[in-house]
A and B are shown apart, each in its own frame.
Chain A
Amino acid sequence: RKEVEQDPGPFNVPEGATVAFNCTYSNSASQSFFWYRQDCRKEPKLLMSVYSSGNEDGRFTAQLNRASQYISLLIRDSKLSDSATYLCVVNPLGYGQNFVFGPGTRLSVLP
């Protein structure tokens, strides 16, 4: 089993739709979780950290389920500018601060 798994997509959704991505991780001792977004041929950019209590930033909501070892990202009222690849990132204990990146889920928001 890979350390971090994501559905590669693509997810094609109309503007204004709500879309959710899930990510699973294998190391139950992992402590830190993040979502990054990467636009085509650009560097990944931090979207949000994921906390045990869940957190929300505008149209974006991140949730962590430790029992099932998955992380989710919900995007409401999708915009064209949300089109990107969304990377799930886990910092597993025992690896120093080496982050493990998932393969990414591609989102296309269509007009």
Chain B
Amino acid sequence: NAGVMQNPRHLVRRRGQEARLRCSPMKGHSHVYWYRQLPEEGLKFMVYLQKENIIDESGMPKERFSAEFPKEGPSILRIQQVVRGDSAAYFCASSPPGGEQFFGPGTRLTVL
């Protein structure tokens, strides 16, 4: 049973470009979570999704950030018009209903 998959593992973008981060949950998991971790800081919750629904987006910045988890395919975290402050590690986690969260290896975004 493959774990949580994230790609790309490393992503470099110039200011103003778009970043798309993908997350495929573990088999059988219907819940996906996105977290951001700035260097030397803790994990910050961004958004919690179930298939085709956003359950909690209280941690998402109001502008430029969006997330989806379509019926088919991976969950996508999209960052439009990236700025240097978006440089961070973005972790995705998945869980079954009511279960523990398992994390993917993360995507390290660098904005030049």
Binding site for B on A (CB under 8 A): 34, 41-46, 49, 87, 95-104
User: Contacts A44-B43, A87-B43, A103-B42 known; A97 to B48 CB distance under 8 Å?
Assistant: yes
Q: Which residues of the other chain, B, contact A87 by a CB distance below 8 angstroms?
A: 42-43
Q: Say what secondary structure dominates the interface of chain B.
A: strand
Task: Say yes or no: A99 contacts B45, CB within 8 Å.
Answer: yes
B 80-112 to A, binary, CB cutoff 8 A, 1 in contact else 0: 000000000101000101101111111000000
- Interface residue B11 (Cβ < 8 Å from any Cβ of A): no
User: Contacts A42-B105, A43-B103 known; A100 to B45 CB distance under 8 Å?
Assistant: yes
CB distance from A1 to the nearest CB of B (A): 16
Q: Which 7 residue pairs spanning A and B have beta carbons closest together?
A: A43-B103, A103-B42, A101-B43, A98-B56, A96-B55, A98-B48, A44-B103
